[in-house]
A and B are shown apart, each in its own frame.
Chain A
Amino acid sequence: MSVPQSLHDYGSAGRAVVAGARRSLGVPSIVLGGSFLGFGALVHQAGLSVWHALFSTATGWALPGQIALVELYAVGASVLLIALAVGLTNARLLPMTVTLIPLLRAPSVPRWQYYLISHFIAVTGWVAAMRDCPAMKAEHRLPYYAGFAGVLWSISMVATWAGFALAGSVPAYVTLGLVFINPIYFMLVIAADVRARTRMLAAILGAIGGPAIYLIVPDWSLLLSGVIAGTLGYLIGKRGGTHE
């Protein structure tokens, strides 16, 4: 495989980590910080402890699933139902990981490192890495991503704690606004990112299909809508034009 000379070289893996960490400061950190403030407050409202909030962010780190878990727990849902709901809510992580790992791949990286870094694959890092990593030297992509996601994860932890601590002293409508950041942010991520026809079609069909299928088969609607809309978007988009 020929490597284009224009691939960015950070000099060392350590410098790539730092570059990724610096890149995550700013907008990604602020948005995720705000979102996890909302999560911390939500956990407080559900009557759980700060340790539950922190443990959830540390081990889950995929906000819509974490929110679904806390909401369902608060209304007394069974563990089985919660597991199913969280799993279905987070199904996007499979195609996201399938598409990100090949970009992070380098011959020198042992396989277990991909399983470790995959815990830190979530929307913000995925979008940034899908955009930025192809321009980097292969050996620097995984370290770059580790720096990027490591900072975001740490900020998520601090924000979760702060949100829990502040929950009692802010009005409920402010918490509501913080919880609303997550869907708005994801929507704008899609709006900003879909340049390719196939992906734009997939997103539009998914946005229609998600709620529509929910009215017929609530439990599996997300998965069905994702696979159907994604496949249709891919097929129709491919047929319609030469560019992606």
Chain B
Amino acid sequence: MSETVLSDATFWWPMLVIVVGAAATYIWRALGVSLSGRIDPEGALFQWAACIAYALLASLVARMILLPTGPLAQTPMIDRLVATTLALAVFFVSRRTMLLGIGVGAGVLVLATYARTVGV
């Protein structure tokens, strides 16, 4: 009986956490809609908000690459930096070919991690 209760809890508790996470996500979108009524696409407020969007996105990217949590945290910083630099370089050299840049970035990290696991 206790096993059933446990399995129910291990199913529904994460579901509840995901609902909370979804609410913490949607609240920004809803707030965005309610504030957007006053925004003129040609105006200064619009430009400022776009700048903040880019700054937030760039902050997030830098944090995910330099200070990751979860599985990426197990990779050495130098591997992530080399993969990131090569991805950027290939992206610009290939005239902004998105798939090539991403393929190189992810591929280099995979190869570097593989090389370390087999002890090259």
How close is B95's CB to chain A, nearest CB, in angstroms? 10
- Could you tell me how many residues of chain B have their Cβ less than 8 Å away from some Cβ of chain A? 73
CB < 8 Å: which of A95, A191, A211 contacts B56?
Answer: A95
The answer to whether A159 has its CB under 8 Å from any CB of chain B is: no
- Complex interface: chain B residues within 8 A of A51 (CB): 11, 15
| CA A230 to CA B57, docked complex, whole Å | 10
The answer to whether A59 has its CB under 8 Å from any CB of chain B is: yes
- Complex interface: chain A residues within 8 A of B16 (CB): 79
Interface of B is mostly: helix
CB < 8 Å: which of A73, A123, A181 contacts B102?
Answer: A181
Cβ A187 vs Cβ B61 within 8 A: yes
The answer to whether A107 has its CB under 8 Å from any CB of chain B is: no
| CA A45 to CA B74, docked complex, whole Å | 14
Cβ A190 vs Cβ B54 within 8 A: yes
The answer to whether A24 has its CB under 8 Å from any CB of chain B is: no
Number of A-B contacts (CB under 8 A): 307
How close is B18's CB to chain A, nearest CB, in angstroms? 5
| CA A94 to CA B66, docked complex, whole Å | 24
Which of B35, B51, B66 has most chain A Cβ within 10 Å?
B51
How close is A110's CB to chain B, nearest CB, in angstroms? 12
CB < 8 Å: which of A56, A211, A223 contacts B18?
Answer: A56
Known: A66-B21, A99-B46. A180 touches B62 (CB 8 A): no
Cβ A69 vs Cβ B18 within 8 A: yes
Cβ A230 vs Cβ B110 within 8 A: no
The answer to whether A136 has its CB under 8 Å from any CB of chain B is: no
CB < 8 Å: which of B54, B83, B88 contacts A233?
Answer: B54
Closest B residue to A31 using CB positions: B102
Q: List which A118-139 residues lie within 8 A (CB) of chain B.
A: 118-119, 121, 123, 126, 130, 134
The answer to whether A98 has its CB under 8 Å from any CB of chain B is: yes
The answer to whether A67 has its CB under 8 Å from any CB of chain B is: yes
Cβ A231 vs Cβ B48 within 8 A: yes
Cβ A94 vs Cβ B51 within 8 A: no
Cβ A102 vs Cβ B21 within 8 A: no
Cβ B29 vs Cβ A210 within 8 A: no
Chosen A-B contacts, 21 in total, with CB atoms closer than 8 Å, are A61-B25, A68-B69, A84-B24, A93-B29, A94-B32, A97-B28, A121-B32, A173-B117, A183-B65, A184-B83, A185-B102, A191-B88, A199-B54, A202-B55, A202-B58, A206-B54, A225-B55, A228-B55, A229-B58, A230-B48, A233-B54
